[in-house]
Amino acid sequence: MSGPEQKQSSLRYVFGASFAIQCIGIGLAAIAQLVIARALGVAGYGVFGYATACATAMITLAKYGTDTLVYRQGGQYSHAGDWPSFRGLLRRAGILVSRASFAGFLMLVIYASLLFMQRGDATLSLAIVLAAVAVPLVALSSLRQATLISMGRMVYGLAPEHLVRTIALILVALSLWYAGRASPTAMIAANVLSYAAAFVFGQVCLQRTPVARAALASNPDALLRWDVTARDLFLFNCAYQIVSLFDMLLVGYLLDTTQTGLYAAAKQVASLGMLALFAFQLVASPRIASAHARGDRAGLSRIVDAVTIGGATFTLVYGAVLFVFGRDLLALLGEDFQSAYSCLIWLIVAQVLNTLAGPAGTVSSMVGLQRQATGIFIGAVMVGAIVLLVCAPRYGIPGAAFSVVVATLFWSVGLNVLLYRATGAAVWLFRKRDR
């Protein structure tokens, strides 16, 4: 077998294995959400969903761009066998994560206090504080996952979050439900415990790698370069996370807990449509950075094709299933959740637009265009927030979901235009290919 054929076969294997692991993980996560939704009801699930969304938004701050930095730089160190430099990178990234995690935790505590003074809802405020405990755990776990995947140890990188964590969450959530102890705060605590289990398991996997046993390299010039790159990637990831969560955060703030619960359920179901694209982007990131560094446009195009075509196929099939059986799927969470069907359809439309745009955000960050991409994401958030503030009071949660479609269209087109102007090639599904 020739070299290119070996690389392509390896790419197919990596994508296939990653997709399989994440499919299992998403299936387990769906079971966990089903248990939690049925145990809490619509209003209780609204508290759980909003507190989780707040913590998810703050996790981006806690990561400080270090996971993306490891995907970009760590793969090169791993390929060269430069384990001392890789360990130095991880040590610096860990310091940045520790500082940012502490700041993120404090910000969530302050926000929960302000929310309690405004609304007087002790349950919601306590749920946000409990959810904040998971912020440093998830941030450090993401750093470890990026390390293992960059080293080619994909199974060890993905298994803690997608298998260990979800199984632990299901077991604890079921125990609380059958013991009659189910409450939003109890389920948030169960979620935090599941992240702790994944963190411990992942650290055990990491300790068995060459990078954990290597001597620590000290390079002041590299430290400065890593810090600057991490800061830029942090801003990029913050902007991306905001564009992903602005709707949930505004809905939770503007509407009551029942409407928030319906929206959270629809968003959870719709988000499964991005499973393939996210799975492929995750393992393709180091390869995209490497192909760009080598100037291999044809190789980069093949990687983007695999990500985009695979992601689009899955999303379109999943969207068709939701269009026909969406109400039945929502009913699994409880009969009251069926009223979120129209909201669900708008959200899956946004997911289809996202996947047709290809891995535009990932490619932008891997080729050094994160600053320009950050501006595009910020613009999309502003446009989407305006649409949501206008439509949600009048049309409810379907209006909020429509704002996601508008924001997604804005940044999808913007990033592809950016890539075309900067590199001469776009990544959307129907682009002109480099051969």
Nearest residue to 402 via CA among 326, 349, 338:
349
Examine the domain organization and report whether 288 and 377 are in the same domain: yes
Strands annotated E in 226-367:
none
Examine the domain organization and report whether 163 and 23 are in the same domain: yes
Examine the domain organization and report whether 181 and 254 are in the same domain: no
Report the pLDDT value the prediction gives residue 63, as an integer from 0 to 100: 87
Nearest residue to 334 via CA among 249, 272, 266:
266
| Phi, psi (degrees; rounded to nearest 5) at 290 | -65, -45
Whether 275 is covered by a domain: the verdict is yes
Whether 262 is covered by a domain: the verdict is yes
Report the pLDDT value the prediction gives residue 1, as an integer from 0 to 100: 36
Task: State the pTM of this model.
Answer: 0.71
Examine the domain organization and report whether 254 and 378 are in the same domain: yes
SS3 state of residue 404: helix
Report the pLDDT value the prediction gives residue 321, as an integer from 0 to 100: 92
Report the pLDDT value the prediction gives residue 5, as an integer from 0 to 100: 35
Whether 228 is covered by a domain: the verdict is no
CA 1 to chain centre: 36
Examine the domain organization and report whether 69 and 204 are in the same domain: yes
CA distance linking residue 120 with residue 112, whole number of Å: 10
Examine the domain organization and report whether 27 and 96 are in the same domain: yes
CA distances from 186 to 110, 173, 260 (A): 21, 9, 19
Report the pLDDT value the prediction gives residue 239, as an integer from 0 to 100: 86
Report the pLDDT value the prediction gives residue 4, as an integer from 0 to 100: 38
Examine the domain organization and report whether 49 and 19 are in the same domain: yes
Examine the domain organization and report whether 276 and 205 are in the same domain: no
Examine the domain organization and report whether 109 and 145 are in the same domain: yes
H or E element, residue 430: none
CA distance linking residue 366 with residue 77, whole number of Å: 15
Report the pLDDT value the prediction gives residue 8, as an integer from 0 to 100: 41
What DSSP designation does 104 have? H
Whether 143 is covered by a domain: the verdict is yes
Instruction: State the first-to-last Cα distance of the chain, in angstroms, to the nearest integer.
Output: 20
Whether 402 is covered by a domain: the verdict is yes
**Count of structural domains, the chain:** 2
Residuewise pLDDT in 10s, the chain (435 residues) = 333 333 444 667 777 777 788 778 878 888 888 899 889 888 888 888 889 888 887 887 888 888 888 888 877 787 778 888 888 888 888 888 998 899 989 999 999 999 888 888 888 899 999 999 999 999 999 888 888 888 878 788 888 888 899 999 999 999 999 888 888 899 999 999 999 999 999 889 888 888 888 887 666 777 778 888 888 888 888 888 788 889 988 998 888 888 888 998 899 888 877 877 777 787 788 778 777 777 888 888 888 888 888 888 889 999 999 999 999 988 888 888 899 999 999 999 999 999 999 889 889 988 888 889 999 999 999 999 999 999 998 899 999 999 999 999 999 999 999 998 988 878 888 876 655
Report the pLDDT value the prediction gives residue 408, as an integer from 0 to 100: 95
Q: Which two tokens stand for residue 173?
A: 């959530």
Chosen domain end from 151, 186, 218: 218
Examine the domain organization and report whether 117 and 176 are in the same domain: yes
Q: Which domain holds residue 57?
A: 9-218
Examine the domain organization and report whether 105 and 185 are in the same domain: yes
Report the pLDDT value the prediction gives residue 218, as an integer from 0 to 100: 67
